[in-house]
Chain A
Amino acid sequence: MDVILEALAQTVSVYGLAALLLGTFWGIVVGALPGMGSVLAISICLPFTYTLPPAAAIALLLGVYCGSVYGGCLSAILINTPGTPQSAATCFDGFALAKKGQAGKALGWATVSSVAGGLISCVILIISGPQLARFALRFGPIETFALILMALTCIISVSRAGMLKGMLAGVIGLFLAGVGPDPLYGDVRFDFGIFQLSAGFDMIAVVVGIFALAEVFSRAAEPGSGELPALMNYSGMQYPKLREIKAKWKLIVKSSLIGSGVGVLPGTGASVAAFISYAEAKRTSTDKENMGKGSIDGVIAPEAANNAVTGGALVPTLALGLPGDPVTAIMLATLVIHGITPGVRLMADNPETVYSAFMTLICANVLLLVFGVIVARMFAKLLRMPESLLFGGVVILCLLGAYGVRSNPFDLYVTFVAGIFGFAMRLYKAPVAPMVIGLVLGNQLELSLRQGLVLSRGNFLSFFTNTPVSAVLFAVTACILLYPLLKKLFVRWRHASSRLS
């Protein structure tokens, strides 16, 4: 009880509260700006944590993390450009709803889902953090390979343009992730003598190009483009009523559990969780015909999942000392700077820090309800500018975002080429989401495959029988791949039988 009171005192101290409020607000603003991203938002705050007490430092970073993951949905819904890669899945239905004049409704649902996802993952974190950490330890290379393959298959299966284009997009993304150093031997691949390619492509540069620049080019190519249609009827965020939330509680909880589960596993992240959740929602939704055309389920699922990752990602970070993504890696570094060593001893040696982190995460998620409205209103006012001025600013911010990662002009060229390629994909109705996910997961997929082959002495067939976890994941992948074909064959068979009878 003393520990909890101590943790509460640290959380509601002047420094702690100020850090939390500023961090959450800053995170939402940066998350909403295309090209910036959670990593940039948190990296900028890192120097400010040196002089803060440990609890306040963690509060600042957790606020930025939560806020930035949520903030991406604002631009995803309002201008069809995800502010962060984690919000790419929200574009599909979020922007479609906005085009129908329901931007306020979409934003309201996105906010409520994000808060719910974050809070549910906090509860899971508090109750079962150590158990989840032990489960995460059982995930070896083969299980990781199976999980990522399943995630890619889920994402490809939701592409409306057809499986072939979706699969090609995924393959291209996986290939682009492999340009540069080989993860096992370090040999440089496909650099074609260009020195800058020896480090591979930067993900932010490609994502910014594929989404933001492609959107700019699409708008320039559309005859008669003018004011953004999404904002013609925007009158503020509209939170759903309690009975509407009750009607969607199963989807919210399921998506949050997916996000928490994926967040626990090192090497995966909010983007994967959002897409898996979206694919699952599409499979089970009562409104599946509208998914991709403006269904609320298509906003709830990814937003609940991506914010649920924030709690789940703390499990390996705090309990095992294993960061799941660059953001939690920075948090880990901050803890070490303040003399706190994450790992199995953290709960025993610094329990008040752990409990303070839980409380901070809960507060940060609740703050989204307030700050989301404020930032959305600011953003919407900004977006009322003529499109010719607005997108000029968006392009500049995107180019600076791409340049700012490594201060490398080559990343600007990559962004430009990715923008042209993304535009071509839109022109020919090829989905870009599988490509982005392939790019994010490519290195991890390849590394886990090759490590698995080393462990199994080159016997790929043993992957399917290695452990029950991997067997189940491969079985699910096979079902997702074969389901459309089997469904077609079944319908044809029924047709033929009914004609015969």
Chain B
Amino acid sequence: MLAMRLKNIIFGVVMLAIGAFLLSSSYSTSYSGAEMENGPMFFPQILLWLWVALSVGIIIEDLRKNAPIVQRQQVGTLLLVMALVGAACVLLSIVGFIPVCFVFFAGYGYVLKFRNLPILFLISAAFTVLIWAVFNYALQISLPEVPFFVD
């Protein structure tokens, strides 16, 4: 029961911590005009005080709930997918679009149990080429290039 209640209030506690941190940093003298009336920090501070108050209200509300708020999740698959997407975000501009798209598409399909590998690789390659062609030639939007092929 206690464990469930603690799980229920995690969201409120994290929001409170973030709100409190941002609120305290808004009073920092490193911001010019911090003491001005109707200055740059005027509106954000109103919002941050509201943020903190609402977070406290949510914690109280969630503590009073008798049922679990969060249902069961497939944590392993979720973490793998998050890692894949995160890696794609980081590597897209470093390694280039083509390798990232191919590896991500194939990896994502494999993690989500598409296990016909020849078909998976074929579709990944076809998708990568199609998107690259559409963006570069039809839409004239340059995609991040593989650094080895850039002069």
Contact = CB atoms under 8 A, between A and B. Distances in A.
B43 interface: yes
Contacts of A44: 139-141
B3 interface: no
A175 B143 CA distance: 31
Given A220-B77, A392-B105, A393-B127, A450 B43 contact: yes
Nearest to B84: A395
Interface string B12-47: 000100000010011000011100011111111001
A155 interface: no
Contacts of A172: 51
Given A175-B44, A403-B92, A168 B39 contact: no
Interface string A25-67: 0000000000000000000100100000000000000000000
Interface string B128-143: 0001000100011111
Contacts of A162: 61
B81 A216 contact: yes
Interface in B59-101: 61, 69-70, 72-75, 77-78, 80-82, 85-86, 88-90, 92-93, 97, 101
Interface stretch (A12-20, A80-88, A133-141, A422-430): A422-430
Interface stretch (A3-11, A183-191, A239-247): A183-191
A220 B44 contact: no
B143 A400 contact: yes
Contact of B105 (A167, A386, A396, A454): A396
A392 B104 contact: yes
Given A222-B74, A454-B38, A165 B58 contact: yes
A182 B123 contact: no
A187 B144 contact: no
Contacts of A415: 89
- Residue from B39, B89, B112, B127 having most chain A Cβ neighbours under 10 A: B89
Given A164-B57, A393-B127, A429-B69, A386 B77 contact: no
Interface in A389-406: 389, 391-393, 395-397, 399-400, 403-404
A355 B73 CA distance: 57
Interface residues of B, number: 65
A446 B90 CA distance: 33
A490 interface: no
A400 B135 contact: yes
Nearest to B50: A171
B38 A189 contact: no
B57 A187 contact: no
B22 A217 contact: no
Nearest to B71: A427
- Residue from A172, A392, A419, A453 having most chain B Cβ neighbours under 10 A: A392
Contacts of B141: 44, 404
B32 A187 contact: yes
Given A190-B44, A221-B73, A164 B31 contact: no
B86 A409 contact: no
B83 to A, nearest CB: 11
Interface string A166-207: 011001101100100010110101101000000000000000
B47 A174 contact: yes
A222 B32 CA distance: 47
B61 A185 contact: no
A223 B92 contact: no
A437 to B, nearest CB: 14
A221 B70 CA distance: 12
Nearest to B105: A392
Nearest to B135: A400
Contacts of B77: 220-221
A412 interface: yes
A449 interface: yes
A405 to B, nearest CB: 10
Given A391-B108, A395-B88, A189 B41 contact: yes
A420 interface: yes
B93 A178 contact: no
A396 B69 CA distance: 31
Contact of B82 (A182, A407, A420): A420
Nearest to A419: B85
A416 interface: yes
Nearest to A413: B89
Contact of A189 (B31, B57, B114, B127): B31
11 contacts: A162-B61, A167-B50, A171-B54, A178-B44, A217-B78, A389-B105, A389-B114, A409-B92, A425-B11, A427-B11, A449-B43
Interface of B: 10-11, 15, 22, 25-26, 31-33, 37-44, 47-48, 50-51, 54-55, 57-58, 61, 69-70, 72-75, 77-78, 80-82, 85-86, 88-90, 92-93, 97, 101, 104-105, 108-109, 111-114, 120, 123, 127, 131, 135, 139-144
Return the 9 tightest CB-CB contacts between A and B, nearest first: A388-B112, A409-B93, A428-B11, A182-B40, A392-B108, A220-B81, A412-B89, A388-B114, A221-B73
Interface of A: 44, 47, 162, 164-165, 167-168, 171-172, 174-175, 178, 182, 184-185, 187, 189-190, 192, 213, 216-217, 220-223, 225, 386-389, 391-393, 395-397, 399-400, 403-404, 407, 409, 412-413, 415-416, 419-420, 424-425, 427-430, 446, 449-450, 453-454, 458
